[in-house]
Amino acid sequence: MSPDVAEKTIGTNGSAHYTWPEGARLALSIVVNVEEGSESTVLDGDRGPEPVDELGVVLKKPLRMHGNESNYEYGLREGWPRIHKLLQKYNVRATFTAAAVSLERAPDIAAAIRDEGHEACSHGYRWMHQFHMDEAQEREFIRKAADSIEHTTGQRPRGWLSRYLHTDNTRRLLQEEGFLYHMDDYSADAPFWGAVDGSPEPMVILPYALDSNDMKFWTAPSLTPEDWLTYAKRTFDVLYEEGAEQPRMMSLGLHLRIIGRPGRIWALEEFLRYVRGKQGVWLASRSDIAEHFARECVDQPARVALRAPEQLPE
């Protein structure tokens, strides 16, 4: 490979010799993000208000943004009960990617995770970017989140999702802190072993998906609920079809304040009704999927991570 491009090997899925439990074609992971209460606000000592907003209004001034703050409150007050009802109605064991502070501030959600058998996955201590943290700060951030989530839900998180941007250290720190899987990856429709920079041992990577995420209601080119439902169903259909030949996995990412609106929640219900009518779907938490994969694929080689050209061996 030419020395001015990074060393990168992209594996295909051809070598994956395993099956899902009971011969399922598809592992389906419903991911409920809980970030409300962890967003930026000068009230909590942040330099400015939360930039992620249904209206896309971004203020770089140290002001309260009362409108957007109330949008986040909506997620807890109205969105959560609607989503909760559907999880119960369709018997869904979900993975809650939670910013720890949000669960501290919404004990009823923490109690539902604990009492109804859902998985608590860490989305950081607060909903913030890690990229400016040095190694010690990031380790502290990861630990503090795990301690808090263990306290509120009774389970120590085994998976991690960053607020999109993370560091070169993140994966190794997660491994050192005993995490089972990392989900900051969009490179595949199935789990794989990912190389860990600075560690001889690989880590289970459970790729996530942004294309079918309900964030698409908020970001351009945005989807209508009808579009989103069609997109989610077609994603499911294609992976279900491919699942006859190789194990496939689908992630559906949701947010309380987004899909929890009355004009959108019906699309989630329609999706759940649709997939519940199919045979051979393993609707599971991410920790169950990661554990199963790790057990079944002990010998699979790790994919080589992208390395910068200056780090290439001579």
Summarize as ranges the residues that interact with Zn ion (CB under 5 A). 33
Pick the closer one to Zn ion by CB: 35 or 189: 35
How large is the angle between the packed helices 107-115 and 80-89, nearest 10 degrees?
Answer: 10
Contact present, 281 and 25 (Cβ < 8 Å): yes
Pick the closer one to Zn ion by CB: 163 or 303: 163
Half-sphere exposure of 143 (CA within 13 A, CB side): 9
Q: Which residue is nearest to Zn ion (CB)?
A: 33
Contact present, 235 and 210 (Cβ < 8 Å): no
Pick the closer one to Zn ion by CB: 79 or 243: 79
Q: Which residues, other chains included, contact 306 with Cβ-Cβ below 8 Å and sequence gap of 6+?
A: 6, 7, 8
Whole-number minimum distance, CB 112 to Zn ion, in Å?
19
Listed residue (190, 198, 313, 312) closest to 242, CA to CA: 190
Whole-number minimum distance, CB 44 to Zn ion, in Å?
17
Contact present, 106 and 76 (Cβ < 8 Å): yes
What CA–CA distance (Å, rounded) separates 91 from 93? 7
Whole-number minimum distance, CB 56 to Zn ion, in Å?
17
Whole-number minimum distance, CB 254 to Zn ion, in Å?
10
Whole-number minimum distance, CB 145 to Zn ion, in Å?
13
Whole-number minimum distance, CB 162 to Zn ion, in Å?
9
E strands present in 48-189? 95-98, 119-122, 159-160, 181-182
Pick the closer one to Zn ion by CB: 26 or 52: 52
Whole-number minimum distance, CB 159 to Zn ion, in Å?
13
Listed residue (242, 239, 246) closest to 17, CA to CA: 246
Listed residue (212, 181, 278) closest to 30, CA to CA: 212
